[in-house]
């Protein structure tokens, strides 16, 4: 055989040897691309696709009704509850990683898409705050600020839950101060909206400065430590009730300042509009039998009687809050399920579901458009955990099938279907 023929034979054999390697490389590249695409969808894109469907509810203002004057400022608020960040005792590392990543992506995506001005978290931020050590608490707080980081122009406020400071028999001053050091101790949060001063309608003392603008408080939120409303006269409970009575006095003075000038003095006035009450425990209700919706309590739990001072506030504490504060809206957490209840003279209470996959397959949060006189609420659902798990399982099955087809252990579904079609035609 000539030398040229031998060289050609060797070259052809080398090319035939490289073909399987090239095919394996292409298959590996395809598998890697599929894995990357599934991860990108399940861990990032799905949050944008789901939350993008949410929008702020429209709220009626006097200008919408044909009234005169400047439109009222509308405050955009997010309400979420029961994040239950796992601690050092009961928190498995994989559970922490999965659920905290879900909450971080959901919160950061909501901030970017919806642009709220204020965020309220209605208790049970942590799962083990009731017994965590100082070091464990510091670690949990650090993880919280990483998950719920926000730009400076967004205000974040929180109320304490039983998992943050313990139930009444576990609660103490140290745990409360520790929580308040992180989340601000204020009980009354007033949002300042910009009002235009119209010459001739207000005194010069009220309208000072160049462009005839003043900033005055327009909205009030009362944040209650509902764990302290046990009603047994303990020092912490008595202090909490005294604070609420003081807030009640200030609210009443703002509502009736023209009729009670001597009793109210010259202190700073609060908004004359009714406040919004925020707390962890719901006001008293027998059970969740009248709650409806896809994120309400399961049917086997709806008729379970609630225990006062454990599942809900006592009837006495609920009556006091409604009487003292006369709120126009109440928002609470604790049950991990959604519910809407009317109290007294038509005061709506909304129980906000849990924000975490650890407590719900379909977590959500509440979006509120609020003015001094009106409010409108809407619910924004987050991706369902079973949707993500199903996507992963389907992708894993497809990868296994693709690998088996490439290895020749399973016939290609396309060729198998084509052969079946040919056999059917020939018969």
List the pLDDT tens digit at each of the 427 positions of the chain: 555 555 555 555 555 555 666 667 777 888 888 899 999 999 999 999 999 999 999 998 766 656 555 667 889 999 999 999 998 888 788 888 899 999 999 999 999 999 999 999 999 999 999 999 999 999 999 999 999 999 999 999 999 999 999 999 999 999 999 999 999 777 776 665 433 333 333 333 333 332 232 334 578 899 999 999 998 989 999 999 999 999 888 888 877 765 555 667 655 566 667 899 999 999 999 999 999 999 999 999 999 999 999 999 999 999 999 999 999 999 999 999 999 999 988 999 999 999 999 999 999 999 999 998 899 999 999 999 999 999 999 999 988 888 887 766 666 555 555 555 566 656 5
CB contact at 8 A, 327 and 274: yes
Kindly give, in sequence order, each residue whose CB lies less than 8 Å from that of residue 345, ignoring residues fewer than 6 positions away: none
Q: Characterize 217-228 residue by residue with b for buried, 16 or more Cβ atoms within 10 angstroms of its Cβ, and e for exposed.
A: bbbbbbbbbbbb
Token pair of 55 as six digits: 């929008």
CB contact at 8 A, 115 and 76: yes
What does pTM read for this prediction?
0.84
Q: Which neighbouring-strand residues pair with 221?
A: 189, 276
Kindly give, in sequence order, each residue whose CB lies less than 8 Å from that of residue 187, ignoring residues fewer than 6 positions away: 222, 223, 224, 225, 243, 244, 247
What's the residue count for the chain? 427
Residue 329 has phi, psi (to 5 degrees) of: -155, 140
Q: Report the 10 Å Cβ neighbour count for 355.
A: 30
Name the 3-class secondary structure at 192: strand
């Amino acid at each position: 055989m000539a030398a040229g023929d031998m060289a050609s034979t060797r070259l052809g054999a080398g090319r035939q040897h490289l073909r399987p390697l090239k095919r394996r490389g292409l298959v590996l590249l395809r598998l890697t691309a599929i894995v990357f695409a599934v991860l990108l969808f399940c861990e990032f894109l799905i949050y944008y696709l789901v939350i993008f469907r949410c929008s702020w509810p429209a709220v009626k203002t006097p200008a919408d009704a044909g009234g005169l004057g400047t439109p009222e400022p509308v405050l955009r608020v997010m309400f979420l509850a029961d994040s239950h960040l796992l601690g050092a005792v009961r928190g498995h590392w994989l559970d922490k990683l999965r659920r905290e990543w879900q909450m971080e992506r959901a919160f950061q995506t909501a901030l970017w898409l919806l642009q709220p001005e204020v965020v309220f978290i209605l208790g049970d931020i942590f799962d083990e705050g009731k017994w965590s050590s100082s070091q464990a608490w510091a670690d949990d707080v650090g993880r919280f600020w990483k998950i719920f980081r926000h730009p400076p122009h967004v205000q974040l406020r929180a109320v304490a839950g039983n998992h943050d400071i313990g139930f009444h028999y576990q609660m103490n001053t140290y745990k409360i101060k520790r929580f308040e050091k992180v989340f601000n101790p204020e009980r009354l949060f007033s949002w300042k909206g910009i009002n235009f001063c119209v010459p001739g309608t207000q005194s010069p003392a009220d309208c000072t400065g160049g462009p005839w603008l003043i900033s005055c408080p327009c909205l009030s939120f009362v944040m209650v430590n509902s764990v302290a409303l046990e009603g047994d006269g303990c020092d912490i409970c008595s202090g909490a009730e005294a604070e609420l009575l003081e807030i009640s006095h200030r609210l009443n003075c703002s509502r009736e300042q023209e009729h009670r000038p001597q009793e109210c003095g010259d202190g700073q006035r609060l908004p004359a509009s009714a406040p919004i009450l925020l707390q962890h425990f719901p006001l008293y209700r027998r059970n969740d039998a009248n709650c409806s919706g896809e994120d309400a309590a399961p049917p086997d739990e709806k008729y379970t009687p609630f225990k006062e001072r454990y599942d809900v506030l006592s009837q006495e504490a609920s009556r006091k809050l409604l009487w003292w504060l006369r709120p126009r809206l109440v928002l609470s957490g604790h049950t991990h399920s959604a519910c809407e209840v009317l109290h007294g003279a038509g005061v709506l209470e909304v129980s906000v579901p849990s924000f975490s996959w650890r407590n719900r397959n379909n977590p959500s949060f509440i979006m509120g458009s609020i003015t001094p006189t009106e409010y409108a609420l809407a619910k924004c659902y987050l991706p369902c955990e079973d949707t993500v798990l199903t996507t992963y399982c389907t992708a894993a099955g497809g990868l296994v099938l693709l690998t088996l087809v490439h290895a020749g252990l399973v016939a290609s579904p396309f060729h198998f279907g084509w052969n079946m079609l040919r056999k059917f035609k020939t018969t």
